[in-house]
Chains A and B, each alone.
Chain A
Amino acid sequence: MKINKELLKVKGLKTHFFMDGKIAKAVDGVDFTLNKGETLAIVGESGSGKSITSLSIMRLIPSPPGKILDNSSIKLENRELLTLSEKDMRKVRGNEIGMIFQEPMTSLNPVFTIGNQIAETLIKHKKMKKKQANQRAVELLKVVGFARAEEIVHEYPHQLSGGMRQRAMIAIAMSCDPKLLIADEPTTALDVTIQSQILDLMIEMKEKFDSSILLITHDLGVVAEVADRVLVMYGGQIVEEAQVRDLFTKPMHPYTRGLLDSIPNLDTDVKRLKSIRGTVPPAHRFPEGCRFAPRCDHVMDQCTAANPELLQREESHKVRCYLYES
Chain B
Amino acid sequence: MQINTNHQIDPISAAQQKTEKSLSPTQLAMRRFIKNKLAISGVIILGFIVFIAVFADVLATHEPTAYDMYNIESKVSSENWLGTDSSGRDNFSRLVHGSRISLTIGFFAMLFTVVIGVILGSLSGYYGGKIDSLIMRITDLMLILPFLLLVLTIIAILEKISILIFITIIALTTWPNLTRIIRATFLSLREKEFILGAKSVGASDIRIIFKHFLPNAVGPIIVNATLMMATMIIIESALSFIGFGIPQPTPTWGNMITEATNLRMLENNWEAWLPPGLAILFTVLSINFIGDGLRDAFDPKSN
Whether A164 contacts B6 by the Cβ 8 Å rule is: yes
- B202–A107 touching, CB < 8 Å: no
| A160 (CB) vs chain B CBs: closest residue | B13
Query: Is B274 an interface residue when CB atoms closer than 8 A count as contact?
Result: no
> In the complex, which residues of chain A have a beta carbon less than 8 angstroms from the beta carbon of B202?
89-95, 121, 124-125
List, in ascending order, chain B residues with CB within 8 A of A155's CB. Answer: 13, 22
Partner of A101, one of B24, B196, B203: B196
Could you tell me if B2 and A147 are in contact, using CB atoms closer than 8 angstroms?
A: no
Contacts of B2 in A (CB 8 A): 197, 200
Contacts of A91 in B (CB 8 A): 202
- Would B3 and A90 count as touching, CB distance under 8 A? no
B300 within 8 A of A: no
CB <8 Å contact, B197 and A156: no
Cβ contact within 8 Å between B203 and A124: yes
In angstroms, Cα B200 to Cα A101, docked, is 10
* Least Cβ–Cβ distance between A205 and chain B, in angstroms: 11
Q: How far is the CB of B290 from chain A (nearest CB, A)?
A: 22
Q: What 0/1 pattern do residues 194 to 234 of A give for CB contact below 8 A with B?
A: 00010011001000000000000000000000000000000
Q: Is the pair B193, A145 in contact by a Cβ cutoff of 8 Å?
A: no
Number of A-B pairs, beta carbon distance below 8 Å: 114
Mark A90-122 against chain B: 1 for CB-CB distance below 8 A, else 0. Answer: 111111001101110011111111000000110
Contact A147 B196, beta carbon cutoff 8 Å: no
Question: In whole angstroms, how far apart are the Cα atoms of A103 and B193 in the complex?
Answer: 7
* CB-defined contacts of B23 to chain A, threshold 8 Å: 156
B13 — which chain A residues lie within 8 A by C-beta?
155, 159-161, 164
A106 and B201 contacting across the interface, CB-CB below 8 Å: no
Q: Is B247 an interface residue (CB 8 A)?
A: no
A206: shortest Cβ distance to chain B, in Å? Answer: 14
- B198 to chain A: closest residue by CB: A109
B227 CB to closest chain A CB, in angstroms? Answer: 22
Is residue A148 contacting chain B, with contact meaning CB distance below 8 A? yes
Cα(A49)–Cα(B204), bound, Å: 26
Secondary structure of the B contact surface, majority rule: helix
Q: How large is the interface on B (under 10, 10 to 19, 20 to 34, 35 or more residues)?
A: 20 to 34
- Report yes or no: B3 in contact with A107, Cβ–Cβ below 8 A: no
Report Cα–Cα, A204/B4, bound state, in Å.
13
A148 near B197: Cβ-Cβ < 8 Å: no
Closest residue of B by beta carbon distance from A54: B200
A110: chain B residues at CB < 8 Å are: 25, 194, 216
Encode B172-211 as 1/0 by CB contact (under 8 A) with A: 0000000000000000000011101111111110000001
CA gap between A167 and B6 in the complex, in Å: 10
Q: A161-B10, A164-B10 are in contact. Are A121 and B201 (CB under 8 A)?
A: yes
Q: Which residues of A contact B199 (CB under 8 A)?
A: 58, 60, 93
Chain A residues with a Cβ closer than 8 Å to the other chain, count: 50
Q: Does B129 contact A (CB under 8 A)?
A: yes
Which residue of the partner chain B has the closest CB to A105? B193
Q: Is the CB of A60 within 8 A of B216?
A: no
Given contact pairs A110-B25, A159-B13, A160-B13, A145 touches B200 in the complex (Cβ within 8 A): no
Once A109-B198, A111-B216 are accepted as A-B contacts, the answer to whether A64 and B25 lie under 8 Å apart by CB is no
Interchain CB contact under 8 A, A108 and B197: yes
In chain A between 129 and 163, which residues have their CB closer than 8 angstroms to a CB of chain B? Answer: 144-148, 151, 154-156, 158-161, 163
Given contacts A103-B193, A106-B193, A160-B13, whether A148 and B7 have CB atoms under 8 Å apart is yes
A169 contacts partner chain B, Cβ-Cβ < 8 Å = yes
Distance of A66 from chain B, by nearest CB (Å):
13
Q: Are the C-beta atoms of A197 and B6 separated by less than 8 Å?
A: yes
Minimum CB distance partner of A107 in chain B: B193
Nearest chain A CB to B16 CB, angstrom units: 7
Closest to A99 in B: B200
| A172 is an interface residue with CB less than 8 A from chain B | yes
B7 contacts across to A, CB distance below 8 A:
146-148
- CB-CB < 8 A to A197: which residues of B? 2-3, 6
Task: Pick the contact of B194: A64, A108, A113, A161 (CB < 8 A).
Answer: A108
Asked if B62 is at the interface of the complex by the 8 Å CB criterion, the answer is no
Interface string of B14-30 (1 = CB under 8 A from A): 00110000111110000
| Chain B: minimal CB distance from A171 (Å) | 12
* Chain A contacts for B194, CB-based, 8 A: 106-110
Q: B215 in the interface, Cβ–Cβ < 8 Å?
A: yes
B201 contacts A172, C-beta separation under 8 Å: yes
Nearest chain B CB to A117's CB is how many angstroms away? Answer: 9
Instruction: Rank and list the top 10 A-B pairs by shortest CB-CB distance, nearest first.
Output: A94-B201, A145-B3, A93-B202, A94-B202, A107-B193, A99-B200, A90-B202, A147-B7, A111-B215, A106-B193
16 A–B contacts from the bound complex (CB under 8 Å) = A58-B199, A58-B200, A64-B129, A89-B202, A90-B203, A92-B202, A93-B199, A94-B202, A109-B194, A109-B198, A109-B215, A109-B216, A124-B201, A147-B7, A148-B7, A164-B10
Residues of B whose CB lies within 8 Å of any CB of A are 1-4, 6-7, 10, 13, 16-17, 22-26, 129, 192-194, 196-204, 211-212, 215-216, 218
- Chain A residues within 8 Å of B, Cβ to Cβ: 58, 60, 64, 89-95, 98-99, 101-103, 106-113, 120-121, 124-125, 144-148, 151, 154-156, 158-161, 163-164, 167, 169, 172-173, 197, 200-201, 204
Known: A92-B202, A94-B201, A156-B24. 16 other contacts (CB 8 A): A58-B200, A90-B204, A101-B197, A107-B193, A108-B194, A109-B197, A109-B198, A109-B212, A109-B216, A111-B25, A120-B211, A121-B201, A144-B3, A147-B7, A156-B23, A158-B25
